[in-house]
Structure 1
Amino acid sequence: MTTLGVIGGTGWLGGALLRPALAKGFVDPADLILSSRSGKTAGFEGWPGIRFVTDNVMLAAQSDIVILSVRPEDLDTLDLDLSGKLVISVMARVSAAALLARFKSRRIIRAMPNACAEQGLSFTPWLSTPDATDADADFADSFFACSGKTTRLSTESELDYFTALTGSGPAFIAAFADTMIRDAIENGVAPDIADAAVRQLFLGAGTWLAGASETPADTVRIFTEYGGTTAAGLTAMLSADIAGPISKGLAAAKDKAARG
Structure 2
Amino acid sequence: MAGVVVIGGGAMGEAFARGMLAAGVATTGNLVVIDRSPARCEELARRFGIRCEIDPVASLASVDTVVIAVKPKSYPGLARQIADHLAPEQTVISIVAGLTIERLQTTLGHRVIIRAMPNTPAQIGAGVTAWYAASDAAASALERTEAILRSLGATARVEDESDIDIATALSGSGPAFVFLVIEAMIDAGVHCGLDRATASTLAIQTVIGAGRLAAESGSHPAALRNAVTSPGGTTAAGLAELESAGVRAAFDRAIVAAHTRSRVLGTIGVA
**1:165 matched to 2:170:** yes
Q: What is the alpha-carbon distance in structure 2 between the residues aligned to residue 154 and residue 38 of structure 1?
A: 37
**1:103 matched to 2:139:** no
Identity %: 32
Partner of 2:20: 21
2:242 aligned residue (213, 234, 237): 237
TM-score for the superposition, normalised by structure 1: 0.92
Partner of 1:142: 147
The one-letter amino acid paired with 2:140 is A
CA contact (8 A) 1:113 1:123 kept: yes
CA contact (8 A) 1:35 1:59 kept: no
Partner of 1:255: 260
**1:115 matched to 2:152:** no
Q: What is the alpha-carbon distance in structure 2 between the residues aligned to residue 51 and residue 188 of structure 1?
A: 50
Give the Å deviation of 1:94. 1.2
Q: What is the alpha-carbon distance in structure 2 between the residues aligned to residue 25 and residue 169 of structure 1?
A: 28
CA contact (8 A) 1:21 1:27 kept: yes
Partner of 2:186: 181
Q: What is the alpha-carbon distance in structure 1 between the residues aligned to residue 191 and residue 57 of structure 2?
A: 55
Q: What is the alpha-carbon distance in structure 2 between the residues aligned to residue 25 and residue 247 of structure 1?
A: 39
CA contact (8 A) 1:6 1:34 kept: yes
Give the Å deviation of 1:182. 2.1
Give the Å deviation of 1:65. 1.6
Q: Which blocks of at least 5 consecutive residues in structure 1 are unaligned?
A: none
Give the Å deviation of 1:41. 3.4
**1:45 matched to 2:50:** no
Tell me, what secondary structure is at the counterpart of 2:172?
A: coil
Q: What is the alpha-carbon distance in structure 2 between the residues aligned to residue 212 and residue 226 of structure 1?
A: 23
The one-letter amino acid paired with 1:120 is G
Give the Å deviation of 1:43. 4.0
**1:5 matched to 2:5:** yes
**Pairing of 1:195-210 with structure 2 (within 5 A):** 195-210=200-215
Tell me, what secondary structure is at the counterpart of 2:46?
A: coil
The one-letter amino acid paired with 1:90 is I
CA contact (8 A) 2:94 2:116 kept: yes
Q: What is the alpha-carbon distance in structure 1 between the residues aligned to residue 142 and residue 205 of structure 2?
A: 38
Q: What is the alpha-carbon distance in structure 1 between the residues aligned to residue 254 and residue 162 of structure 2?
A: 17
Q: What is the alpha-carbon distance in structure 1 between the residues aligned to residue 58 and residue 248 of structure 2?
A: 49
Cα distance, 1:206–1:44 mapped onto 2, change above 3 Å = farther
Aligned length: 258
The one-letter amino acid paired with 2:260 is D
Give the Å deviation of 1:171. 1.0
Give the Å deviation of 1:125. 0.6
Give the Å deviation of 1:121. 1.1
Deviations 1:99-151 (A, max 9, x none): 11111111000110011112221111100011011111111111111111101
Higher helix proportion? 2
Q: What is the alpha-carbon distance in structure 2 between the residues aligned to residue 160 and residue 99 of structure 1?
A: 15
The one-letter amino acid paired with 1:41 is E
Q: Which blocks of at least 5 consecutive residues in structure 2 are unaligned?
A: 266-271
